[in-house]
Amino acid sequence: MPRASLALLFLLAACQRAPTAANAAASDAGGAPASGLERAAIESGAITDTGKTSPVGLYQRSHEAGRDLLCVMPAKDAAFRFGLQANFGEDQSCRGQGTARRAGDKLILHFKGGDRCIVVAQYDGDQVALPGVVDMACADLCEGRGTLEGVSFPRIANDAASALRARDSDGKALCEG
């Protein structure tokens, strides 16, 4: 019995694969290793390789309470600058600007201001989604019962010119030059 268990253990160990170069690269970039099917879809062009997709552009969602906007512009040192506004009804909104940087499939948003609000958003190439829980320091960006928690911004344009033209609900430039 012990020999059979030992043989089975060696057999199972031999069946496990070593990580491929593509999986190692995906892991090093901060993302989860891509499956074989996902790698094939990326190589064929069926899906976008988000690791190579710049977040620069304009993101917008319209809804019954208004419009949520996020603009992302290139900045120095491979970083980005951004502006956002999320509306939740009359006198309930959030607005902020700052700098951002990529970390794998994340976009780390550093808001300007005294409280140092930082949000780690999910970025998939077509959308920026803020997490369901954000730092308490971000509450100062919001009026009324507004919160940045769980807000998502689908991409509508992928160029800096569109991001630069973005205006908040008061008509002010969201991504100032």
Is the residue at 142 inside a domain?
Answer: yes
Residue 27 included in any domain = yes
The domain of 80 spans: 53-164
pTM of the model: 0.72
Q: Are residues 102 and 30 in the same domain?
A: no
Statement to judge: residues 66 and 138 lie in one domain:
yes
Domain count, the chain: 2
Statement to judge: residues 23 and 76 lie in one domain: no
CATH number at residue 86: 2.40.128
Which residue, 47, 62, 83, sits at the end of a domain? 47
Task: Name the burial class of residue 35, with classes exposed (0-12), middle (13-18) and buried (19+) by CB atoms within 10 angstroms of its CB.
Answer: exposed
Residue 174 falls inside a structural domain: no
Do 97 and 145 lie in one domain? The reply is yes
pLDDT at 141: 92
pLDDT tens profile 107-141:
999 999 767 899 999 999 999 999 999 988 899 99
- For residues 150 and 88, membership in a common domain is answered with yes
Least confident range of 25-34, 156-165, 166-175: 25-34
Residue 129 belongs to a domain: yes
Q: What is the pLDDT of residues 39-95, one digit of tens each?
A: 787 677 676 666 678 999 999 998 888 889 999 999 887 699 999 999 988 888 999
Q: Is residue 175 part of a domain?
A: no
- 19 neighbors 33 (Cβ within 8 angstroms): yes
Give a yes or no: residue 169 inside a domain.
no
Provide the pLDDT for residue 145. Answer: 87
